[in-house]
Chains A and B, each alone.
Chain A
């Protein structure tokens, strides 16, 4: 059994993004960590994170943080890891928000009188941060069985890992954390200038064509700079970049498909975890199987 670490999956990982969940948990296991799902976790608030009434938005996350506080005491570790960019962003922002605005925390603590008060000591981390700072890339390198030699990857961060500044996991204009991880896995990382561009986000619901245009651009430029795949950590970016290729292809005759993967899937492959139970390539619109065949 590895060291227990609290893991916040979020709703998407429990549904469409099974490929993200399993590759995260299994890759962590290889590194000696047992990612335990936070007991009774609730919604992270998703888009409500952008709502005007931020007290309302903060409730759900502070409730999650309180649960982490209780369970953390049980397992003796205050770290709460999320891998979905949106969940990470919301949890971390909520924590910072109530730490800065003690009045708001007080209001929330009174409102949630059925729960203990939030004491403010939960360390919300994105999986990438955990890998870099707590595990260390040199330790990750030791676990690589199948180096991804020759695979050209475009790292794609989207917005939620980098903005606002106070929750950014790296330089918001020129991040390198994912690139450094991918290099550790043996992959060749291309200089992808659109790594922090907008994926179109929730416009995918009502303005599919608009998002398909973004996808067209993001994928075409990745192709132009020589990438075989785009790696991401966000289920929404994944969905837009992957699924919207269908419309992009209909609109642009010159468009060439490219598979989109989670960085955790690449890590799993490099660690030798290549079964469909972990990778779930059936969840991809553009299957990465062919492109990744040499390492599978």
Chain B
């Protein structure tokens, strides 16, 4: 069974390997092995002639196994497998021995040791290879539908691209309207477009597209299944209004007596207990907030037995009384729906830290706001019609200070990273203040300006030169109230002096984090995230939209805070990835997966507890572990925990690994 005619192909990688490792000597030594039919070297094994050499050698020497000694398998394993396969060898009988990163590079100063090490690595790889089985890729069917979670601009773009490509797409948004944070903005840097003008058409396209099924005010409850075949449960939260009947006329809003802080306006304005998310909401539908509606609160207390209803008391139903189409029914219409999809795109966006998190910077005062709240005060459609006013007394500010990097680049009180968009939006906000209130003094405290985008640096210069914003380079240490003003105490690091300015309002550019609740969602999807709630990509440079879970992609600010340009690009990118997947009738999957030997398996279930992908179940009848090949990623966590070696990853069997380690561990 074991292989007897192995071909070993040693790559020079230009001077990368051959400059340190004596490749001729390596070929000579390896060629002495009985099980090796051919050991040869070539300058670039990954090049066309290099691949040809492998292909031809497989035929010529009738090779039954191949080791390519070159760079990391993440780079060229696939290329080499394909080359051997063209020669007629099963591709899973090809192994890579990484002698570049493991031998040549770390031992540049000691070529002799590097050469010895390279020989050893190749010998170990041959030992592993010898017990490799021939395998065929696994085929799984595909459901040609997609799910997009999060209806911000990234999710909207992804859904539209998929739908335009003819793929039925489900868009789930937890707020009553789609639009995300972009819809809260006043104008957008660097072009000063109004988001209402550029985003509303896209939002309406989503609502009207025949291939898009929109669930707003809904959340993903559970996700099961695997790439190509996900089963998703979606919870449609209770609205107490029949959305098929509601015309969005807004009559009910006018009569409702209850006022509460508006979520959309981030406490900068009030809404009623029955409300429409905002004036241009998509869908334009009313819903009742069960926590503040008089009637629903009353009914709840009656149900809990806290109060006994007297006869003939009239409980508020003002909204229902004026509702022409009789849409308001006060019935809890929460519902779970199930959808099947082949691919999922997560575009759940970001949030900014609340000003209250920074008491030393005055976050406890009413006129010290975070940046997103201030966007509402600058928005022409916002509560102050675009003329900023102090929340405490409605006064138009004569002076405003902006503070960059609040909580950003500050591991002690916030996050270690740069939040990336704040420099630009702060410059924009400063400019818009000057535009609305030319005589208002504007102070902008920054550490350094990070304006690294197309047209961004020019935008910054406009703020300085055309608008006369005072940019002060230095950190703010404290903000406190003195009389009616807020004293901003900082340092000007260019002059080396302490600066103090008294202003009417302060805007804190607070750090961005992943959306609230995203970690729970990520757990349901089994995709990784970091401590700050950013979803983790498979490879930061080369696979920024992929996740380790096949078929699940990420896009927009959910991956890390980014501007609109980048969010939209990622939305389209993720859609393209999903399309590529869904365009195939069947999916091929690497067969390097866990396999159970039912003869040995005791059915203890330890492997099941270890599997991060939920791929293992215990057969209740035979009492043995069973692997769902479509779910298994071949990580090997199960096998490491199996007390009997019953579960093992194909071509990574215990015996193979131990033989390889034995060779590696031999004393020089």
Contact = CB atoms under 8 A, between A and B. Distances in A.
B414 to A, nearest CB: 11
Interface residues on B, range: 10 to 19
Interface stretch (B28-36, B425-433, B477-485, B558-566): B477-485
If over half of A's interface residues share one DSSP class (helix, strand or loop), that class is named, otherwise mixed; here it is loop
B360 interface: yes
A171 to B, nearest CB: 9
Interface in B476-509: 478, 480-483
A256 interface: no
B74 interface: no
Contact of B360 (A165, A173, A221, A224): A173
Interface in A164-179: 165, 173-174
B412 interface: yes
Contact of A173 (B359, B481, B483): B359
A194 B480 contact: yes
A173 B480 CA distance: 13
A173 B478 CA distance: 9
Interface string B88-108: 000000000000000000000
A193 interface: yes
Given A173-B359, A173-B360, A174-B360, A193 B478 contact: yes
Contact of B478 (A165, A197, A224): A197
Interface string B344-371: 0000000000000011100000000000
Interface in B539-566: none
A173 B363 CA distance: 12
B413 interface: yes
A197 B490 CA distance: 12
B412 A224 contact: no
Contacts of B480: 193-194, 221
B413 A193 contact: no
B482 A224 contact: yes
A294 B644 CA distance: 82
B359 A174 contact: yes
Contacts of A165: 412
A237 B524 CA distance: 54
B412 A193 contact: no
B358 to A, nearest CB: 8
Kindly name the residue among A165, A173, A196 whose own CB sees the greatest number of chain B CB atoms within 10 A. Answer: A173
Interface residues of A, number: 9
Interface string A154-191: 00000000000100000001100000000000000000
Nearest to A196: B360
Interface in A25-40: none
A175 to B, nearest CB: 11
A224 B484 CA distance: 12
Contacts of B358: 173
A283 B481 CA distance: 33
Contacts of A173: 358-360, 413
B482 A221 contact: yes
A197 B487 CA distance: 14
A174 B482 CA distance: 18
A203 to B, nearest CB: 14
Nearest to A198: B477
A11 B358 CA distance: 37
Interface string A68-81: 00000000000000
Nearest to A220: B482
Nearest to B360: A173
Contacts of A196: 360
A196 B481 CA distance: 16
A29 to B, nearest CB: 36
Interface string B374-416: 0000000000000000000000000000000000000011000
A196 B477 CA distance: 11
Nearest to A171: B359
Nearest to B481: A193
18 contacts: A165-B412, A173-B358, A173-B359, A173-B360, A173-B413, A174-B359, A174-B360, A193-B478, A193-B480, A193-B481, A194-B478, A194-B480, A196-B360, A197-B478, A221-B480, A221-B482, A224-B482, A224-B483
Interface of B: 358-360, 412-413, 478, 480-483
5 closest cross-chain pairs (CB), A and B: A193-B480, A173-B360, A174-B359, A174-B360, A224-B482
